[in-house]
Structure 1
Amino acid sequence: MTYMEEHLETPVQQVLQIMQRRIMNESTYFGIKTLKSPIDFWIYQEIMFETKPNVVIEIGNFYGGSTLALAHICDCLGRGRVIGLDMSHHNVPKSVKAHPRITLIEGDACKLFEVITKLIKKEDSVLVIEDSSHTYDNTLKVLRTYSPLVKPGGYFIVEDSICHHGLDVGPNPGPYEAIEAFIDENKHFEADRSKESFFISWNPKGYLKRLE
């Protein structure tokens, strides 16, 4: 009997806890620690294939595993580049920093907004992924600051809205409440719940689509 077969009657909340431990303690991408739900990352590549962004802005990179994975998707698409923003990139290995599609910038994402806009052409399509401190105030500030870069049909992904909405971890209020506040004030975006079609997602309401 497999581990899964032993837990077929396990409540979803306990399943989430099992998955969280795996994500936080063991998950890697090309040998680089990657604190990311593989279920959600599958959705990311679907979104990137669908929208074919010229630029992916990843706010919060930590070890850089997901940054490298995003760059590899760009490789497969034959287009696009990744701008990684974090307060520090000292944990990011040389193999990530050396990838030609990756640009890493250190500092506060909102304070660096004008610097980032100079790296983006007016006609570029942009995908933004927010994965920084997860506090309500910071998440809402990042949403307000970077959302104008997303064109109609594009996406702004807010990660870890599962905080206190599936898992008792992280700030409270956190990303989930910031998403609701942002959608309430900005009618140009809606939560695309179809992107949660695997049933389990670390980003409930976090796939924000820019409307036409």
Structure 2
Amino acid sequence: MTPTPPLSWPPMEERLEEPLRRVLERMQARILVGTTYFGVHTFKCPLDFWVYQELLYEIQPEVVVEIGNYRGGSTLALAHVLDALGKGRILAIDIDQRKIDPRARRHPRIAWIQGDAKRLAGEVAARIGASGPVLLIEDSDHTRENTLGVLRAYADLVSPGSYLIVEDTNCHHGIADGPFPGPYEAVADFLAEDRRFVADRSRESFGITWNPRGYLLRVG
């Protein structure tokens, strides 16, 4: 059976001169229309997720905190990487988890926590306890105010040498979607006030990322 593409695009070799902005727009459309993991819809750039699995292997985290879960596709993918590593658990936080796919919900490495992430920081810290290393992915509401609030609330939980990943910093810095000011601006404010973190731009080495300046390495 010939696969049917989710969107009608010319083949790559016929559009090698296409501007990068148009390539990013098409990738965004594909991500929003039909990107799945094990059949579960997920809003993730696959290039970034490849970087995530590299980080998980390098850091070997005991706890991954994922803020913003949608239907749970990326959460399930992270859990499968931890399965391969043979260690680790996920604290999955979202203000509304009613749409989480059952295939993700029943994975034993994932604990689902519903509510406003900023208000739940204390509970999350208690659940982490003395476990470490801790890696955190922020993918909740993309307004500057909310993103900055989450970064401030959770920065202490990220282990030195690990990462606080801020997703979709490409809002108006690569694609025309999302709020402005948004995550990119929140990152700029956060880095100016918390010198324990630096933007590790070596993690953007594919050349295309949905998280420009969003791979925040804790160095102190």
Is TM (by shorter chain) over 0.5? yes
Q: TM-score, length-normalised on structure 1?
A: 0.98
Moved more, 171-180 or 120-129: 120-129
When the two structures are aligned, how many residues end up with a matched partner?
A: 211
Alignment of 1:62 onto 2:59: no
Q: Secondary structure at the match of 2:154?
A: helix
Shift of residue 90 of structure 1? 1.1
Q: What is the RMSD of the two structures over their aligned residues, measured on CA atoms?
A: 0.9
Q: TM-score, length-normalised on structure 2?
A: 0.94
Q: Distance in 2 between matches of 1:51 and 1:13?
A: 33
Q: Distance in 2 between matches of 1:46 and 1:123?
A: 21
Q: Output the amino acid matched with 1:198.
A: F
Q: Distance in 2 between matches of 1:14 and 1:143?
A: 31
Q: Output the amino acid matched with 1:108.
A: D
Q: Distance in 2 between matches of 1:62 and 1:78?
A: 25
Match of 2:60 among 52, 62, 65: 52
Please name the residue that 1:195 is paired with.
203
Q: Output the amino acid matched with 1:114.
A: G
Alignment of 1:1-212 (within 5 A): 3-212=11-220
Native 8 Å contact 2:62 2:89 kept in 1: yes
Q: Output the amino acid matched with 1:78.
A: G
Q: Distance in 2 between matches of 1:93 and 1:49?
A: 26
Q: Secondary structure at the match of 1:24?
A: helix
Q: Distance in 2 between matches of 1:199 and 1:22?
A: 18
Q: Output the amino acid matched with 2:89.
A: R
Shift of residue 118 of structure 1? 1.4
Q: Distance in 2 between matches of 1:104 and 1:180?
A: 30
Q: Deviations over 1:103-140 (max 9, x none)?
A: 11100001011111111122421111000111000000
Q: Secondary structure at the match of 2:129?
A: coil
Q: Distance in 2 between matches of 1:151 and 1:35?
A: 26
Shift of residue 95 of structure 1? 1.3
Q: Percent identity?
A: 53
Q: Secondary structure at the match of 1:119?
A: helix
Shift of residue 97 of structure 1? 0.9
Q: Secondary structure at the match of 2:127?
A: coil
Q: Distance in 2 between matches of 1:203 and 1:130?
A: 11
Q: Distance in 1 between matches of 2:157 and 2:121?
A: 10
